[in-house]
Structure 1
């Protein structure tokens, strides 16, 4: 029950409908504020009052999904879709819950159904692309990203998302082109700067990489990935002391940053600081593989 309410069983049908509607509306504001437990409480009471409102089930499912209660989310989405079978939103959200549980084929079925109902829904296209990546169907994922970009070429995020996929595929020139398009749309997009810097590093364009990563760190002084990449660039440029300062900062910001420990270990090894190298490699193995 919501705050201060214990029993509403004596409400008339009209009053129950009215109260359920207000609870549902308040829950939507709670969701916008990321207060999902409060939203779930309101929606639970709303559902008890009016069990056949598909929106209430869908909204509660979405709150459960966001706070990673995926099985509860699936139950709510199932009920929402029983009441309203052609809700693209509920199908897309259920697909995201399936994907989070590793049930990728079921997720794909939901995304495909949702996209027959709402073929220009960017977030569902993005969720489908992510699932295709998890299925290692990378060329198909690229096709979905092309659809997303075609719908709105001004969204920096969409260019960055495809750039990340190109980078995963080791297509660094294509990735750089997409990050550059993102930065035309938003010159201060930190992820685009950081990721373009990393892609430039991978093709040995160190001065350009350093410029991007310097700007990323300037815009976001707590960006652990930018510090990690800049540390790797500085090492490639022969400045191991500066590289260590950046990598130290990277693991200070994210103590579970496996790649940074590996790079720092390699720098320690190059500097013949082998005890420190062993320590970093051991920590990387523990974090990635659970070694004792």
Structure 2
């Protein structure tokens, strides 16, 4: 424990001391958050709030800690308190919007994102969160507009290109996706997600050899990337190497035993090999995971 911080506040602590202790607790909580130690952060922030209830930052930080461990109702309560104290906090609005989005309350999320962006129009993380909500609302053209804004603001980084590439891929616009992944890779040739996702997009338009090259490179950099393993398994099957494909798919579901698509692809390969009992098991697992059968 840091020097000068006791285990708990003393009863009847003078106001100046309470303010000082609460301040250090808030600061320590921020470091706990940076370390992903959210329960410890919540404990410090709860005491800080008890000492100084009118500090908006403490409520906001505790709300963010609750959000990160999926305690969404508690997060909303804290963000509401923070916004009572600072109604125009773009950070609290954006974080509350993310919480609403995680709860599938998308219209409320959009209202918070729109308000936040009137205060900080170039906030990249809020623009990204808004784009994600627009995708979930099936307002895909508007989502693409948001991605274009993000690229204008931060196109020297690979991530915005990958994010828009992912949306293009969701829209089955594979050449456009491939072009965006290529832009990301021009910035960072070792960007694993860009390599993996470009490999998948190339697979979707039957460019299997190029897909395999990208996926091999992604897996050299990240051997336990379950999505890249699943995609490479599908590519290897298309190229006629079912045994190698099964090896990749076995590893993919070992890494993520809820990887629905990998079970479906593996089931199809097993069916092709007349291994029908195993195929039935994979299809049954896929149905259970996706539909609760």
Which of 39, 42, 45 does residue 43 from structure 1 map onto? 45
Deviation at 1:152, TM superposition (A): 1.2
Q: Does 1:217 align with 2:233?
A: no
Alignment of 1:181-220 (within 5 A): 181-220=183-222
Deviation at 1:4, TM superposition (A): 5.2
Question: Normalized against structure 1, the TM-score is what?
Answer: 0.97
Question: Normalized against structure 2, the TM-score is what?
Answer: 0.97
The corresponding residue for 2:58 is 56
Give structure 2 stretches of 5+ with no counterpart.
Answer: none
Segments of 4+ moved more than 2 angstroms: 2-9
Deviation at 1:5, TM superposition (A): 3.0
Deviation at 1:254, TM superposition (A): 1.0
In structure 1, C-alpha distance between the alignment counterparts of 2:16 and 2:281, rounded to whole Å:
68
Q: Does 1:69 align with 2:54?
A: no
The corresponding residue for 2:100 is 98
In structure 1, C-alpha distance between the alignment counterparts of 2:221 and 2:21, rounded to whole Å:
47
In structure 2, C-alpha distance between the alignment counterparts of 1:99 and 1:169, rounded to whole Å:
21
Alignment of 1:250-261 (within 5 A): 250-261=252-263
Which of 79, 82, 98 does residue 81 from structure 2 map onto? 79
The corresponding residue for 2:236 is 234
Deviation at 1:155, TM superposition (A): 1.4
In structure 2, C-alpha distance between the alignment counterparts of 1:273 and 1:125, rounded to whole Å:
48
In structure 2, C-alpha distance between the alignment counterparts of 1:25 and 1:74, rounded to whole Å:
22
Deviation at 1:7, TM superposition (A): 4.3
In structure 1, C-alpha distance between the alignment counterparts of 2:167 and 2:109, rounded to whole Å:
20
- Judge which range, 249-258 or 188-197, deviates more: 249-258
Deviation at 1:8, TM superposition (A): 2.4
In structure 1, C-alpha distance between the alignment counterparts of 2:91 and 2:9, rounded to whole Å:
32
Q: Does 1:162 align with 2:159?
A: no
SS at match of 2:141: helix
In structure 2, C-alpha distance between the alignment counterparts of 1:273 and 1:179, rounded to whole Å:
37
SS at match of 1:222: coil
SS at match of 1:85: coil
Deviation at 1:246, TM superposition (A): 1.0
Deviation at 1:239, TM superposition (A): 1.1
The corresponding residue for 1:115 is 117
SS at match of 1:64: helix
In structure 2, C-alpha distance between the alignment counterparts of 1:261 and 1:181, rounded to whole Å:
32
In structure 1, C-alpha distance between the alignment counterparts of 2:121 and 2:8, rounded to whole Å:
44
SS at match of 1:188: coil
- Judge which range, 272-281 or 256-265, deviates more: 272-281
In structure 2, C-alpha distance between the alignment counterparts of 1:240 and 1:7, rounded to whole Å:
65
Q: Does 1:178 align with 2:169?
A: no
Deviation digits for residues 177-225 of structure 1, max 9, x if unmatched? 0111111111111110000000000000011000000001110010111
Deviation at 1:282, TM superposition (A): 1.1
CA RMSD of aligned residues (A): 1.2
Deviation digits for residues 112-141 of structure 1, max 9, x if unmatched? 000000001000000001111111111111
Give structure 1 stretches of 5+ with no counterpart.
Answer: none
